[in-house]
Structure formats: structure tokens, C-alpha cells
Chain A
Amino acid sequence: MFLALKEIKHEKVRYGLIIAMIVMISYLMFILMGMMLGLANENKAALTTWSAQTVFLNKNANDNLGQSVITKDQLADHSLNKHEALVGQTATVMTRSKKKAHKESVQFIGLDAGQYIAKDNMPLVAGRHAKNKHELVADESLKVKGYQLGDKVKLNSTAENYRLVGFAKDSQLNVAPVVYGRLSTWRELRGAAPQVVASGIISNQREGASRFKELAHYPIAKFIQKLPGYAAENSTFMFMIGFLMVISLVIIAVFLYILTMQKMPNYAVLRAQGISARHLIGATIDQAVILTITGICGGLVLTLLTAWLMPMTVPLVLEWPLIGLISIILILLGGIGALLPVRMIMKVDPVRALNS
């Protein structure tokens, strides 16, 4: 540690540049991870808020809640328990009626006011729950976009006016804000036949496929993976983060290799003095770890600054356990990168000390 710290302190520019590169790599990794989590959250936040564990859809719905319709016939032999709720989903354009005509693409979710989601799993950040068909509760992100309690809005091209009476916490689905209303409104927006009841059934319990034999059964993890674009988006980000990890490994290894080559005459002197190769290898690994940790700290500071300055509309979620995991992986990669020059250090010829 002594040699590593002294050298970094003396060669500030050289090591500063390496640290700067690690700062940029870790910063990029943290931001990409934050965006991945942010987008993932915008895809499924409402499901998390509903504590959804199991989803039932029409068997022909191609795994998509928005495409699914459940009819009265399919539920004829069943009554829903207190852990289950009917949900009607449709993509909708919401337009502010009076002020500047502002259009917003939203996911309309129709609920039964007597079932568990509307009763217990729709926490509000402002306002109150809807009391009748003409009242809506919108996701809090719409509040940031300028919508206010009491605003009158229209849904699609229907002539009916609705009033926003509350803003709900963490209610986004398929990367769009959710607007909660009644199932009857959903039926109107979908133009659904009278026998259609909802898009699907959400349960906050783990239920088996036998619960509704006529319907397709999805454990929540499987359902989330089937959300349109979710898996592709996540794997793209994972690939980018993975590539960045490989790049950081190569950069650290190459820099340490070059630096070690430049220090061979010094190492020869130390070897001539009887300082073991093990000690020199330790110093090199220490140096890699110090550089990586310093770079990660810098990347973290930049990430926090970015998160602070970023507009609320940009999806960025920082999860400390994941940041910690990425940091540990980066430190390990730094250590592995330092192993590249080890062979060179082990073979350093102390006779070079006399000839240098």
C-alpha cells in the first residue's frame, strides 16, 4: 500500500487520467443501470403498487393485458375473493378540457371500486379516491407535467368530461402514466360488448392455474417478462453494462501493464535489494484497487449530481444494493486487471538494476 500510495501521490497527472477514465466508466455504468431500473419501473410500477402476484388473462390474448378480454361466461362458475380484482386496461389519449389543450398518452385502468386494488392498493400522494364514474385518479407523474386536482379532462374522443380528484403514487404501466377509472368507463373506451367484464384478473396471492381453468395463468415474474418491450429493453441495458465491465477490465489491465513495463528498472532495483516479487505484486494490486475505488467514488458523485439535476421526467432509479454490487464487481475487475503484469514482475531480473 505504501509504494502504491506514494507513487499515485507523486505521479498525479498520470494516475489522475487513469482515475478519470474509471470515473467515466463507472459513471456510465451507474447511469445506464439507473435508466434500466427506471424504465423497468415505468413498465411495471403499477403492478408492484398493486402487490400483484398472479395474473389471469384470456387464453388468446398473446400474454398482453391490453389485448385481453374476459367475458361473463368465463367467470360464470367463479366468484372473486378479497385478494382478486378485475382490471380493464386500454391505451388512451387524455386531453385537458379547458386550459391549453394538452394531450397525454396514458394507460387507462378500469377498476371495481369494491375490490382490493381500489380499496387498499392505490396509495395517493394528493387528493382522494374517485367516488363515481366521472372522477379519475391519475399517476403522480402527470402532476409534474402540470395537471392539477380538479382539472377536467376527456378520454380519447368521447364527449364525456371527467374530473381529476387524486394523484396516485407509483402508477405507471408500459412506460405510460396510469389513469384510474371505473370498469364501465373502460368498457366504453374499448367499445366492448356487454358480456365483456374486464381485461384480466389480478391477485395479490400466489394462485395456481386451476383457479380459473378457462383463463391463461401467469405468475407475476413471467407476466412482467412478457410486458411489451420489457425483456428486450432490459437485456439491451444488461449487454451495455456487461460490455462496459469488459472494457473497464481491459483498460485497467492495459494501463497497469504499460505502467509496470515503465517501472521495470525500479522493480529491478527493489529486487536487487532483496524485496520479494510477492511484495511488488501486492503493491501493483493495491494500486489497481486504489485507482478503481477512487474512480468508483468519483463516478458515484457524478451519478448523484446527475440524478439531482435530472428532470423528474427522465426515468432514473438508483438502487444502492445494485450500485454496491457493480462497485464490487469493478473492484474485482481492477484486481484481475492487475494480474496481467504479474508474470512480468515475477520474471524481473535484478541484474538490470546494475545495467540501467
Chain B
Amino acid sequence: MSVIKLKNISKDFGKGISKVQVLDNVNFTADLGELSLILGPSGSGKSTFLTIAGGLQTPTTGTVTVEGETLEKLSTKERDQLRLNKIGFVLQSYNLLPYLTVTDQFALVRRIKKIGNMSQEELDNLLEELDISQLVNHYPDEMSGGQNQRVAIARALYPNPPIILADEPTAALDSNRVKIVGRLFKDMAVKHHKAIVVVTHDMRLRDFADHIYQLMDGKLTMER
């Protein structure tokens, strides 16, 4: 079942001679239970693709549908609610709040979204799987880049959203960790029935993907 549909999406920045077309008539669907990989070099429009798919910004033309709701028709508040309940973001620069310990990062989610989150047991298992269970009382500046990245992944998965959008989630990880994260994403997609979309230029994730897309010069093509 498709949970995200991007139809005829174009995105322009600037006007006149400084106008740049970042996405050019992109069509994309993501289904529950599948891991989709969007590959492309820096500047190819991967992050813009992700922000439009997640309702963070609007396309110049085209429509985005998330679980049947057209994002362009939603108010800011409704989009906030949709992101809170249905989309988990894993961001390139981890973006954990610097003044919260790992435990508090999850506590914050729990305070905002009171129902539908992972149980404590599921969270403990997830932290164990990501090898960060020993870091629960640490602040982000007390952890390495890789550890921060894994905490950010756990934070995105904790609210149990049906959709995970990840921007370069393995950029700071060694090959072993990449395998763990790749397997985790794959398991989350299959076992927990989620649609996972990863934009990256990390070829090491190819083995875990159900679908692979190439984004080049704003055009998206399906490779597998």
C-alpha cells in the first residue's frame, strides 16, 4: 500500500536568470513494508526531495499525498500533526537537542505525542540493537558522531511512525554500523510494516533496499 505519493513534483528556487530547478517532474511512491533508497551525488536535490515528501516545504508544481491526505491542502497545524504522528525524520546532522540526555530526547517525544509510541521494552530492545543502551544518561556532546547518529535513528523510530524519511543516516558510521542500521531499517520496514525512504550517496545501503532510485539533475529514475 502506497503511503507517500509524489506526483509531477517540480521545485524551483530563485527567479529570472537566477532561477534554479532542483526537482524536475518527479514521480515517486513509497509502500509500507519496503525500504526505498534514493541515490545521488551532492547537490542533486536529495534533501529537497525529502523535505517535500515530509511536508516541510511545498513544491512549485505537483502534489504530495501522505496516507491519502494531500499536503498542499493542510494547514500548518495539520501538517505539524501529520509529521508528529506519521513521519519520523532522521537527519544528516543528527540534530539532537544539546541540552537533553538520550533518555530525555525520548521523554520529550513522549510529552508531545502521548500515545502510540514504542513501549519501554521495545525502546530498550531498539537501544540494545543500536548498541547505545549504555549511553542513556549522556548528552549529545558527550558522544561520538556515530553514537549521535544512532540515537537520532532511535528517536525517529520511537514514536512508531508508519513513514521514516532519512537523510544520509549512515554518513558518520563505519561499515559494521552501516550493516546494523541497514538491517534495522529493513527489519523495521518488513516486521513493523513501515515505509522507509533513505536519501544517501552511501552505496553500502544498496543491499538492504527493495527499490533503488537515482536522482540526477533533478530527475528521478528507478533503477530497481
Contact = CB atoms under 8 A, between A and B. Distances in A.
A146 interface: no
Given A353-B89, A353-B91, A272 B56 contact: yes
B187 interface: no
Interface string A1-43: 0110011011100000000000000000000000000000000
A272 B82 CA distance: 11
Contacts of B98: 10, 266
B47 A2 contact: no
Nearest to B82: A274
B112 A353 contact: no
B135 interface: no
Nearest to B109: A273
A170 B33 CA distance: 85
B83 A274 contact: yes
Contacts of B100: 6, 10
Nearest to B83: A274
A262 B80 CA distance: 23
A274 B80 contact: yes
A351 B57 contact: yes
Contacts of B93: 356
B224 interface: no
Contacts of A351: 51, 56-57
B83 A354 contact: no
Contacts of A119: none
Contact of A269 (B50, B54, B85, B95): B95
Interface in B197-217: none
Contacts of B50: 354
A279 B77 CA distance: 12
B81 A274 contact: yes
A274 B112 CA distance: 9
Contacts of A270: 97
Nearest to A268: B95
Interface string B105-125: 001110110000000000000
A80 B107 CA distance: 78
Contacts of A273: 83-84, 89, 109
Interface string A266-295: 100111111110010000000000000000
Contacts of A272: 54, 56, 83, 89, 91, 95
A313 interface: no
Interface in A339-356: 350-351, 353-356
Contacts of B51: 351, 354
Contact of B99 (A7, A350, A356): A7
Interface in A219-253: none
Shortest beta-carbon contacts, A-B, top 3: A274-B84, A274-B83, A10-B99
30 contacts: A2-B107, A2-B108, A2-B111, A6-B104, A7-B99, A9-B99, A10-B139, A11-B99, A265-B95, A266-B95, A266-B97, A266-B98, A269-B95, A269-B97, A270-B97, A271-B80, A272-B89, A273-B84, A274-B80, A274-B81, A274-B84, A276-B80, A350-B56, A351-B51, A351-B57, A353-B56, A354-B47, A354-B51, A354-B91, A355-B47
